[in-house]
Amino acid sequence: MNNINNFPLVEQKKIISVNGIHTHASKIKLPEILFITSYPPRECGIATYSQDLVKALNNKFDHSFSISICPLESESEKHVYTDKVKYILNVDQPDAFRDLANTINHNADIRMIMIQHEFGFFAKKENEFKQFLIALTKPVIIVFHTVLPHPDELLKIKVKDISGVSRSIIVMTHSSAEILIKDYNIPGEKITVIPHGTHLVPHSDKELLKVKYKLSGKKILSTFGLLSSGKNIETTLEALPAIVKKNPDVLFLIIGKTHPSVIKQDGEKYRNVLEAKVKELELQQYVKFINHFLPLPDLLEYLQLTDVYLFTSKNPNQAVSGTFSYAMSSGCPVVSTPIPHAREVLRNDAGIIIDFESSQQLGEAVISLLNDEQLRKNISSNGLHRMASTAWENAAVAYALLFEQISESLISLRYNMPAINLDHIKKLTTDVGMIQFSKINQPDIGSGYTLDDNARALVAMCQHFEMTGDKESIKYIYIYFNFIKHCLQPDRSFLNYVNEQKKFTEQNNEANLADSNGRAIWALGYLISMSSLLPEGLTINAVSTMQKALLKVNKIHSTRAMAFSIKGLYYRNTNNKSIRGLSLIRQLANRLVQMYRHEATEEWQWFESYLTYANSILPEALLCAWLATGDFIYKEVAKSSFDFLLSKTFKEATIKVISNKSWLHKGEDVVHITNGGEQPIDVAYTIIALSKFYDVYTDDEYLDKIEIAFNWFLGNNHLHQIIYNPCTGGCYDGLEENYVNLNQGAESTVSYLMARLTAEKAFSNKQKNTPPVAVKVIVSQKLRYSKSANDKIF
């Protein structure tokens, strides 16, 4: 246990200004939050919950605040901790509560205390716990893991006393919140609902996992958790004979060791009862006990290979179940007894609810699921969408926002930038190109390929190679470039839609392909701009392909197609200057300027009478035109139009791009635009444009907006949910009004990668361009390295 004066220091610099130049002063300590909770290696659900929560908070916000741990112990429950522990509260020791309160009160770095509460933790010590809470002079957050309905007067008084001295109360279900309000008269404004966190999983192939665990050919039923009689496993065992009769290939996995407190009191009595029941029913070949505490990765793989998950608790007052949550988030169709949590999340075909201790209903539900693969898939998909908001990353955002609110400006949230993960990019890419769509994170080859996606992917992988020097990127650059070449037609235009057999589809005759042609020119120009880094044969081929494509570029009149083409010509011009190239830039840029002059007013400084998709590329393209030609009018219109656009999309440290559900028309008020319909591609294009404007104007406001925009992917949006999935490396397809579209297609995933690489480069350039001063090397506050060498923080 650490000395109470040994506090964690974080590499955070206090920025001061010397003659207008930013520099940093000495190290400062972050606000500290003390977690009082059971904690591993103690084996209980709350200990695991707290460890997962702490890990999630540190992964996302360890430069915003620090977390210290005070495990709860007793004379019969002591442990040696591997994680750093600041204090230990032994509830059986005289004066332990009073001493800890005094220590906390005299520690100026501890700003608030969060207590994971279960009544059993403080059994026979309720008065000491109450006096401890009263003695604390720092804000206290209580997380109630059990909320009992219809309390007697004594329980009601206990809960109200705890609530009265707490700044905030957290529960994990809306039904628990309603019970606190109605049965305990707790003010609703004091209660925050933050669902039990769940782990993101890669949704690995079920059959491959069954092979790994020697379960091939089996239909797997499973349940997991620390074993006790409350789990009522016998309900499933009694249903198994009927299930086996219809499905002789079934196997029921009972995963988990017996609960330590049960062992102390009754030994393995309950497990022995279950084993006897298995023998009595002659189910030995259909039931397998996995009698140990599985490492988390193994547990999540067992859940991913499960065909039906069974939750049979017989406690109607069990407020929430972490095991139940983990199963749903792993894609398991769930059959459950009607605990409040199940009634809340399994509604609308997200699972099947049965009565308590009803083996007949359980058997019927399992048989119907095992005999209907499509039903299992539908329930799995519905469950995944229902549980998406409960990912630990989202739980961390919810907790951090509450910390920020309670701290009264002492905590300012800074999101960590995730490490680059190309897994999903590679998964989407075949020898032909990048597949267009995914179902969740499984590529849908039936959706084919598009020039749009492969052009963006070419830009992104060029960026990746430029930043990292990873030679594997060149393999993907070749694939995406060859796809673009394949799409170039004899008449020097591009087609967009290609099927699995590499044939062009009828959709090419039905859609306007101007933007696709512009994107291809952008991608080719970007590749050519990197000629000094890439194989010579590749860039020569790209120059030849672009020359052919440019033969028709002056016939392009689509606003965004012109903008993409200008960008491509600009990038080509950086390494391959030509008079014709400059002439084409001027020709296209003049058209944009003419559109602006025709449409712009003092209140509406834009090129069209509406804001739609990919708006940022228009002012960015004109800025590129100015960089290429030096014609000042392009810079002037670029600045005024971009500032206008930013005024419509940035409000109070958040970004809200124009919804694809309702464009913003001239004369409309932006505040009336509904939530939802926000696409990752528009946020990415905004970041790319902001970076270009920062390069030209060196105005830190553009960097600030890059930070705000990138944080949209990490949870700084109207749902406070992640859009980027750090587990798969994919990006969700859209932010809707009430949910996130969990499909991780090519457009969104590549858009995130472009945004990620652009943001890092922008802040790295800020560091490089900041002049040194006498006191030390200058470090921008905008990019700091976290404890992981691969993670960065804004």
Q: How confident is the model at residue 396 (pLDDT cuts 50, 70, 90)?
A: very high
- DSSP string of 199-226, one letter each residue: -------HHHHHHHTT-TT-EEEEEESS
Mean pLDDT of 778-789: 32
Residue 669, pLDDT score: 75
For the segment 335-350, what is each residue's pLDDT rounded down to a tens digit? 999 998 899 999 889 9
CA distance to 433, 482, 524, per residue, from 451 (Å): 9, 11, 12
Residue 3, pLDDT score: 32
352, 422, 347, 353: which is closest to 385 by C-alpha?
347
The Cα–Cα gap between 414 and 65 comes to 9
Residue 174, pLDDT score: 95
Burial code (b: 16+ CB inside 10 Å, e: under 16) for 249-268 equals: ebbbbbbbbbbeebbeeeee
Its sign, for the CA torsion 474, 483, 531, 751, is negative
Mean pLDDT of 541-564: 95
Residue 321, pLDDT score: 84
Its sign, for the CA torsion 294, 296, 297, 302, is positive
Residue 436, pLDDT score: 98
For the segment 159-182, what is each residue's pLDDT rounded down to a tens digit? 999 999 999 999 999 999 999 999
What percentage of the chain carries pLDDT values higher than 90?
84
Question: Which of the two residues, 133 and 409, has the higher pLDDT score?
Answer: 133
Burial code (b: 16+ CB inside 10 Å, e: under 16) for 219-230 equals: bbbbbbbbbbee
Residue 582, pLDDT score: 96
Q: How many CB atoms lie within 10 A of CB 431?
A: 7
Per-chain mean pLDDT for the chain: 91
For the segment 433-450, what is each residue's pLDDT rounded down to a tens digit? 999 999 999 999 999 999
In this structure, what is the dihedral angle of CA atoms 446, 452, 454, 458, given to the nearest 10 degrees? -160
The Cα–Cα gap between 783 and 767 comes to 8
Question: Which of the two residues, 17 and 351, has the higher pLDDT score?
Answer: 351
The Cα–Cα gap between 529 and 574 comes to 6
Residue 771, pLDDT score: 55
- DSSP string of 580-612, one letter each residue: HHHHHHHHHHHHHHHHHHHH--SS--SSSSEE-
Mean pLDDT of 296-305: 95
Residue 69 has which token pair? Answer: 């741990």
Residue 766, pLDDT score: 75
What percentage of the chain carries pLDDT values higher than 70?
92
Residue 671, pLDDT score: 58
Q: In the sheet that 416-417 helps form, which strands lie side by side, from edge to edge?
A: 416-417, 792-793, 784-785
> Which range, of 4-8, 91-95, 396-400, 406-410, averages the lowest pLDDT?
4-8
Q: How confident is the model at residue 320 (pLDDT cuts 50, 70, 90)?
A: confident
The Cα–Cα gap between 613 and 468 comes to 30
For the segment 366-383, what is each residue's pLDDT rounded down to a tens digit? 999 999 999 999 999 999
> Which range, of 128-142, 573-587, 622-636, averages the lowest pLDDT?
573-587
For the segment 602-653, what is each residue's pLDDT rounded down to a tens digit? 999 999 999 999 999 999 999 999 999 999 999 999 999 999 999 999 998 9
Residue 440 has which token pair? Answer: 């969740």
- Residue 377 CB contacts under 8 Å (≥ 6 apart), including other chains: none
Residue 784 has pLDDT above 90, yes or no: no
Residue 794, pLDDT score: 44
Q: Is the pTM of this model over 0.85?
A: yes
Omega within 30 of 0 (cis) for the link into 241: no
Q: How confident is the model at residue 780 (pLDDT cuts 50, 70, 90)?
A: very low
